[in-house]
Structure 1
Amino acid sequence: MPAVFTDEQRAFAAAIDELCQRECGTREQRDALTDHGKEAHNAEFYATLAELGWLGVGLPEEDGGSGGGITEQCLLLERTGYGLAPMGGWVTTVVVAGPYLKFGTDDQRKRAVTSIASGGVHAISMSEPEAGSDVGALSCRAEPVDGGFVVNGQKTWCSNAHIADNILLVARTDATGKKHDGLTMFEVPADADGLSISQIDTMGSNEVNDLYFTDCFVPVDAVIGQVNQAWPQLMAGLNGERLYLASAMLGRAKRAFDDTVAYVKERTQFGRPIGSFQALSQRIADLATELECAELLVYSVAAAVDANPEKLLPREASMAKLKATETAKKVALEGMQMMGGYGYATEYDMESHLRATVVSTVYGGTSEIQRDIIATTYGL
């Protein structure tokens, strides 16, 4: 770990590693917790994290959290990513925490933080069939009525909605202005009348969902922040979202790397370990260097956010997400290649590393979108 960590942060990371090793350190344990890899989230394991106080690690003490910063949140995601811990619900949950903390009323903030710290799962819904990278093009409508709004429309690719207590919905409340105007955030219970949740089958797991709203009523006090101001509210949370995704994939990349190194040390061909052949040993050296760069970038940006939480760092946060996810994908692809046919076998974890890392370059803003954002900050 880089020298930028405090003793307390190092101890926190070590405690996470110890828990993961004890609770999900073997393939048999992970299969039992995840229905043989089909589920990314285990409620019992998640409850253990809540009891330890880790789920609220970056949330204010006055609202029921532990009072840490974004670095501690990144450490939790990185080390549980490395440990293959079944806590997929926390990534979206910690993303949702941001709007509540920044824009929620006292009651909304207190309720959300208490829920998150005690083990509640939250989801955020932005994407639609015709609005993915172009979030401003969304058309799911929330029409004002007496006492609140009525929502109609479809959302898609909503991670963790099927296990969530609440969904932070971004819907259109005004279509008369520019496309990024007229968007509003709403807190919607996952069991609300008029909301139907349907899981989408993907490679190896079921984490994402379609949401169908049919005359779904949400009261006026379900608005998070201001009506028609969801876009600037979303922009205010991008530092966190991109760092969380980067951290989780940094951990997964480290695990894929270590699994690869272990394999090439043990596998023998032509009378020697395959890792001793220069064609593989130099690839390992390159991957190790890329991982070190990704780690330093992720945690230097996290430190910058902790030093100035209100400052937007679009270039740096996008760089961290881009570097960590692309590095993770590269490590998994190289690991599969070096393992040969065994890399494809479900007996080993490499095939699941590949599935997890490839999609990470798509969700939360594709690598292409991250590059566009970075280029824009240079006036291009």
Structure 2
Amino acid sequence: MTPDLTDEQRAFAAAVADFCHREAGTREQRDALAPDGGRHSQPLYRKMADLGYLGAGLPEAYGGSGGGAVELCLFLEETGKALAPIGGFATSIIVAGAYERFGTEEQKKQILGGIAAGAVESISMSEPGAGSDVAALSCRAEERDGEWLINGQKTWCSNAHIADHILLVARTSGSGHQGLTMFNVPTDAPGLTIRGIDTMGGKEVNDLYFTDCVLPTSAVVGEVGNGWKQLMAGLNFERLVLAALMLGTAERAFDDTLAYVKERTQFGRPIGTFQALRHRLADLATELTCVKLLVYQTAELVDANPGTLFPREASMAKLKATEFAKAMALEGMQMMGGYGYATEYGMEQILRASVISTVYGGTSEIQRDIIGKTYGL
């Protein structure tokens, strides 16, 4: 079962899928594009930009296609399903929303136009002592002589090492949720050190160290001291982005598992014909359909109600898609046996990508808490 798409939307999804198949359809192609554990290939990314794909969901005034959340989800689903090494896109499109809502015209041209043309952008919130508790942020920005001076440490910053800019959330006054401000920080800014963190998922996250990093007043995004409200305006969109990406990842895990159990023969017959596996695949197919409908129903709500927040639906989509992607990858590895563990077949790559998805962008526990609160609990 698929969402109710227009012919134009279906053609767009098919074009993205075909491109990914040609350019990154094999493990060998993907390894060549992003070697040594990399998750992002800038040459592939630029090709997508030249075809207009990275503008999905961006305004036409800044080089985008003018599409909405549905088109964006189609792009994320297809590239996730293809395991396309364009890890910089998710953070870039999440950052784009903040600039579109709160940035100056000059910032919009720089950031939104840059993303459509193939630039990678990043966002930094987490700190060693502040993860889910954003109110505990301590990285400080002080205004001095008409400039901003940034000092402190950030961590788990995805794609900072390949980004042109970092959307930094720092404390400018007060405590708790009050007094947070967003800044547009070039990654080559003096006083900023970016240091990679090795993870089982590859090279994608970083520690950031700010030591007397000087920014002009024009680096402020939105209003000084209003960063918390600005963050809240974008987190629901971020969760939809991650849900669509993990939907595609889960579909790839399901497709690879299904193909394997149809071909692998034991005891004189394909292993998928044994009831133990046949019933498990039936359950997984049903769950996958539910995830897809939930993601696109949320996207349709976003498109039909511009500016409206959907905390319940967005958190449900993120929770369901990421938890299912992780469960699907684990099931796939189990059904494929030793081959599921081998890099040749790719299921281990899917597992590494999906396990962390229940943590970033708000953990599954935080999503459940948000959903519960929307019911008055």
- TM-score normalised by length of structure 2: 0.99
Structure 2 CA distance, aligned partners of 1:110 and 1:340? 50
2-structure distance, mates of 1:359, 1:324 = 12
Trace 1:25-174 onto structure 2 (pairs within 5 A): 25-35=25-35, 38-174=37-173
Matched residues in 2 for 1:164 and 1:204: separation?
18
Counterpart in the other structure of 1:285: 282
Kept in 2, the 8 Å contact 1:239–1:314? The answer is yes
Q: 2:155 touches 2:208 (CA, 8 Å); kept in 1?
A: yes
Deviation at 1:57, TM superposition (A): 1.6
Give 1:343's aligned amino acid: G
Shift of 1:3: 3.9
Task: Give 1:189 shift.
Answer: 0.3
CA RMSD, aligned part only? Answer: 0.9
1:371 aligned onto 2:362: no
- After superposition, the C-alpha distances for 1:292-348 in whole angstroms (9 at most, x for unaligned) are 000000000000001112001000000000000011011100001111111111121
Which portions of structure 1, spanning 4 or more consecutive aligned residues, are displaced by more than 4 angstroms?
none
CA deviation map 1:12-66 (0-9, x unaligned): 0000110011001112111111216x11100100000110111112111122211
- Alignment-mate amino acid for residue 308 of structure 2: K
Letter in 2 for 1:125: S
Query: Percent identity between the aligned chains?
Result: 68
Could you tell me which amino acid in structure 2 is paired with residue 73 of structure 1?
L
Aligned to 1:249: 246
Counterpart amino acid of residue 370 in structure 1:
Q
Answering whether residue 219 of structure 2 is matched by residue 222 of structure 1, we say yes
Asked if the contact 2:240/2:295 (under 8 Å) is kept, the reply is: yes
Q: Which residue of structure 2 aligns with residue 22 of structure 1?
A: 22
The 2-side partners of 1:338 and 1:50 are apart by 38
- Residues 201 and 353, structure 2, Cα contact 8 Å, conserved in 1: no
1:150-190 per-residue CA deviation (whole Å, 9 max, x = no partner) reads 00000000000000000000000002x5x001000000000
Which stretches in structure 1 are left out of the alignment for 5+ residues? none
Q: Match for residue 295 of structure 2?
A: 298
Which residue of 347, 350, 362 maps to 1:350? Answer: 347
Asked if 2 retains the 8 angstrom alpha-carbon contact of 1:239 and 1:305, the reply is no
In the other structure, the counterpart of 1:318 is 315
Query: Equivalent residue of 2:112, what SS?
Result: helix
Q: Does the residue aligned with 1:201 lie in a helix, a strand or coil?
A: strand
Q: SS at 2:211's partner residue?
A: strand
User: Paired residue for 1:237, among 234, 239, 243?
Assistant: 234
**Partner SS state of residue 228, structure 1:** coil
Indicate the larger mover: 220-229 or 26-35: 26-35
What is the rounded CA distance, in whole Å, between the counterparts of 2:270 and 2:34 in structure 1? 33
Contact 2:167 2:185 in 1 (8 A): yes
Question: What is the CA deviation profile of residues 332-373 of structure 1, one whole-angstrom value per residue up to 9, with x for unaligned ones?
Answer: 000011111111111210011111111000000000000000
What code does the residue aligned with 1:187 have?
A: N
CA distance in 1, matches of 2:82, 2:201: 19
SS in structure 1 of the partner of residue 185 of structure 2? strand
Look up the SS of the partner of 2:207 in the other structure: strand
Q: Please state how far the C-alpha of 1:74 moved relative to its aligned partner.
A: 1.0
Tell me the equivalent position of 2:358.
361
Name the counterpart of 1:262: 259
What is the rounded CA distance, in whole Å, between the counterparts of 1:17 and 1:61 in structure 2? Answer: 23
CA distance in 1, matches of 2:217, 2:146: 6
Separation in structure 1 between the aligned mates of residue 324 and residue 206 of structure 2, nearest angstrom: 27
> How far apart are residue 204 of structure 1 and its match?
4.3
Tell me, in whole angstroms, the C-alpha distance in 2 between the residues paired with 1:108 and 1:237: 17
Amino acid in structure 2 at the alignment position of 1:284: L
Partner Cα distance (2:366, 2:247) in 1:
19
